[in-house]
Amino acid sequence: MQNSKTLIVAASVLLSSVLSQTVFALTFDYQTTAEALAEVGWYDYFGLAMASDYKNKEATNARSYAAAYYDEIQFMGHVGISALADASVEPNEVVLSAEVAGSYEFDIGWELMEYFYQDANGTVEGRLRIDEFPAGVPCRLQIDISIPNETWKAAWAWQLYIESSSNYFIAGRDELGDYGGRSGTIDTYAGEEIYVFLGFAGGGYADHYTEALGNGKLTINATLTAIKKVMAKAYNPTPADGSLYNGTEMILSWWPGNTAVSHDVYFGVSFDDVNDGINETFQGNLVKSYFIAGSPGSTYPDDLVPGTTYYWRIDEVQADGTTNHKGDVWSFRIPPRTAYDPNPADGDEFVEPDVTLSWTAGLGAELHSVYFGDNFDDVNSASGELSQESTIYTPDLLESEKVYYWRVDEYDGVATYKGDVWGFTTPGAAGSLQPANGATDVQINSTLNWMPAATAVSHDVYFGTDKDVVSNATTASPQYKGNMTPGAESCDPGTLAFNSDYYWRVDAIYNTGKVKGLVWSFTTADFFLVDDFEGYDIGNNEIWWSWKDGLGYAAHDNEPAYPGNGTGSAVGDETTGSYTEETIVHGSRQSMPMSYDNNKQGYSKYSEVELTLSHLRDWTENGVNTLTLWFIGNPGNAAEPLYVALSNSTGIPAVEVHDDPVAAQINTWTEWVIPLQAFAEKGIVLTDVDRIAIGLGSKGNMTIPGGSGKMFFDDIRLRRPAEEQ
């Protein structure tokens, strides 16, 4: 056994044995990093030890509450012991520390737990209970084990169980040989109970029985220095932020800030209103740290409406009555009365013909009526289907190259709630959409593209701003955009509006008739995209072909070699599959890595990469007036000035330098917002911008050496004034 270092927690492990032999031995060194050794013996029919080994378990960051105690644990018929000793811990700023020290010893009584016949294999398990982690502190639990590779079969299995959410977090199982280190990280709140289930399974040769605990002592030598911390804001909300609450009346509670004497409550259906405290969202000042919503006479007496997301905020008021600590805006959702979360999802493509349909029952639903077919109108108007209790429905084998629709009506014992009509396609139907169904931040000059239905002779396209209108449109409607022949599966809807929803439909035309398509949707962006670096790859679109740097590139296709721009820059990363950065990203999957060396022999004493614009040259269109880009550096970078330069096809570039002289050392993603007027005042014609450059150092410097480093850039955009977005 290891000597205790700080707080120790002990728990039982139930292991197979023969006759009266006790193989229990587990002690936890419990601290910021805790370790335990559990000695496990495996015995043959005659009670002879076949193997024994030590299993190492590690837990990082845990505990709260000053106490030393032990609890009997009962779970699935097993009994164990846990013993704890520690001091109070709460999240945020350090203000004092406390220490609990001592030795705690408990008797472990003999108790036969269960008997079973094990002929070939079986599983024995125990449990470690870890209570009440500090809020927001990652808890890392890791198990390492080595089992000798003998003729018998042995394995170690483990799971982490979060009682408050009734969910398992990680499970691992290896057979024979070394058990590879497994670990997982979760964020937990104080008050939650975390369980670790340890299982040892193996093949024996005769009868075995399991004993929970043998005679012995459980000793805890504890010395824990815990930090008492202060949280000024309210925290740890119930219900949890972003959760689903199945009810229309509820108690909302929170953990108060340490200095609060009362609480200002804001509650409503609009995030912005609650955040700003306007439009009757203020519900009053309370001394207690909870309130009731959805009940007459309560703090929020209005009924909570199914299908609605609610937002709430708690501002903590100090004793002087004037100092407030504004809280975060939390949310929860009341599920709708109708069925929701269909699987397949509404609009799914290429669903296998042997699909089983499922959904989440509406609030209070007891019975479900399912309507299914290949005609939207028939499914939408159908009635009288028999009800079922299950939320699963399996239709007959479906046909390929078809569009299917389905609807689920919910009955709660009083009323029936008609469901939405959902749809999906089977393989061979028109699909592979661009923009994808449900896409956001779509550029306003995008074209519509799709993969044709396998045997269709052509496709009719419909497009508009109203879903129902597009769904019901015919070839005589203004939403009809034409018939597209094979090989021409593309449609230009024209220039769209910023931040707007659009809907489109593609009907497959056959010699025998047509198949009406699903209605797809997307939402346009409220910005123009200069570059998000997502389109670069190693095929025929390397990033340095567009963002020209100091290294240059060889000739390719019809383009001659480029010798480089003479600066100390190098763009791209040849170790990734896209030649871009794929880990350090601000948005989506890729960003642009740029190395700079302002003292490189034979090069200028500054570093720059430059993009020539092939489109989006009018930087006044739609009222845009701001250039934004995101960057991240490193504290080890040389503090070279960061700049952006714009150029017309003729004339000198206009340069804007970041106002932070050590911007290259900022190691968090940071947005740089530059008014376009700043470039205009330096002579740039914004209606015809030809090039954009990003650099480090003093542009044009040829003599004074500088330093080196590496930065990453992402999401370069043109935006309108904030009030117009």
pLDDT above 90: residue 377: yes
pLDDT of residue 476: 98
Residue percentage of the chain with pLDDT more than 70: 68
Please say whether the beta carbons of 586 and 531 come within 8 A: no
Domain count, the chain: 5
Which of 55-64, 146-155, 183-192, 295-304 is predicted most confidently? 295-304
Number of residues that make up the chain: 725
pLDDT of residue 258: 77
**300 and 169 together in one domain:** no
Question: What CATH number corresponds to the domain at position 381?
Answer: 2.60.40
What are the C-alpha distances in Å from 166 to residues 16, 193, 194, 195?
28, 10, 10, 11
pLDDT above 60: residue 540: yes
**565 and 713 together in one domain:** yes
Strand-pairing partners, residue 259, are none
pLDDT of residue 233: 87
**22 and 69 together in one domain:** yes
pLDDT above 90: residue 276: yes
Examine residue 342 and state whether it is found in any structural domain, yes or no.
no
pLDDT above 90: residue 539: no
User: Which of these three, 400, 425, 450, is where a domain ends?
Assistant: 425
Examine residue 22 and state whether it is found in any structural domain, yes or no.
yes
Residues 367-391, mean pLDDT to the nearest whole number = 96
Residue percentage of the chain with pLDDT more than 90: 62
| Structure token pair of residue 88 | 């109070």
Of 120-124, 255-259, 719-723, least confident by mean pLDDT is: 120-124
Burial (CB < 10 A; 0-12, 13-18, 19+), residue 101, is: middle
For 343, which DSSP code? E
Examine residue 72 and state whether it is found in any structural domain, yes or no.
yes
Give the domain extent around 245. Answer: 235-333
**What string of H, E and C letters represents the secondary structure of 605-618?**
CCEEEEEECCCCCC
pLDDT digits (tens, 9 = 90+) for 35-84: 222 333 333 334 444 333 333 323 222 222 222 222 222 222 222 222 22
Question: What CATH number corresponds to the domain at position 648?
Answer: 2.60.120.430
pLDDT of residue 189: 37
Of 45-49, 538-542, 604-608, least confident by mean pLDDT is: 45-49
DSSP per-residue codes, 655-724? EEE-S-TTGGG--S-EEEEEETHHHHTTT--GGG--EEEEEES-TT--SS---EEEEEEEEEEEE--GGG
pLDDT of residue 41: 37
Residues 543-568, mean pLDDT to the nearest whole number = 94
Question: What CATH number corresponds to the domain at position 449?
Answer: 2.60.40.10
**64 and 127 together in one domain:** yes
Examine residue 318 and state whether it is found in any structural domain, yes or no.
yes
Nearest CA-CA partner of 544 in 562, 517, 566, 520: 562
User: Which of these three, 228, 257, 292, is where a domain ends?
Assistant: 228
pLDDT band at 236 (very low <50, low <70, confident <90, very high): confident
Residues 181-202, mean pLDDT to the nearest whole number = 36
pLDDT digits (tens, 9 = 90+) for 649-691: 999 999 999 999 999 999 999 999 999 999 999 999 999 999 9
**539 and 676 together in one domain:** yes
| Sign of the four-CA dihedral 89, 93, 98, 99 | positive
Helix or strand run (H / E) with residue 208: strand 208-213
**327 and 419 together in one domain:** no
pLDDT above 80: residue 420: yes
More confident residue, 62 or 480: 480
pLDDT digits (tens, 9 = 90+) for 304-350: 999 999 999 999 999 998 889 999 999 999 999 999 999 999 999 99
pLDDT of residue 547: 98
**533 and 642 together in one domain:** yes
| Sign of the four-CA dihedral 625, 631, 635, 641 | negative
Look-up of token digits 């259906």? 269
**456 and 443 together in one domain:** yes
Residues 458-487, mean pLDDT to the nearest whole number = 97
**590 and 555 together in one domain:** yes
Of 131-135, 522-526, 533-537, least confident by mean pLDDT is: 131-135
pLDDT band at 235 (very low <50, low <70, confident <90, very high): confident
Examine residue 450 and state whether it is found in any structural domain, yes or no.
yes
Report yes or no on whether pTM surpasses 0.75: no
Q: How many CB atoms lie within 10 A of CB 86?
A: 26
User: Which of these three, 407, 425, 443, is where a domain ends?
Assistant: 425
pLDDT of residue 255: 86
pLDDT above 50: residue 4: no
Residues 524-533, mean pLDDT to the nearest whole number = 97
pLDDT above 60: residue 109: no
**409 and 447 together in one domain:** no
Examine residue 68 and state whether it is found in any structural domain, yes or no.
yes
Examine residue 338 and state whether it is found in any structural domain, yes or no.
no
Examine residue 446 and state whether it is found in any structural domain, yes or no.
yes
More confident residue, 115 or 605: 605
**70 and 111 together in one domain:** yes
What are the C-alpha distances in Å from 634 to residues 137, 171, 607?
25, 36, 17
pLDDT of residue 557: 83
**577 and 711 together in one domain:** yes
Residues 599-613, mean pLDDT to the nearest whole number = 97
Look-up of token digits 């024994």? 52
Please say whether the beta carbons of 518 and 534 come within 8 A: no
Question: To 5 degrees, how large is the angle CA 239–CA 189–CA 7?
Answer: 155
What are the C-alpha distances in Å from 47 to residues 23, 44, 130, 265?
12, 5, 34, 66
Residues 87-113, mean pLDDT to the nearest whole number = 28
DSSP per-residue codes, 544-585? HHHEE-SS-B--BTTBPPB---SSSEEE--TTSTTSSBSSS-
pLDDT of residue 259: 84
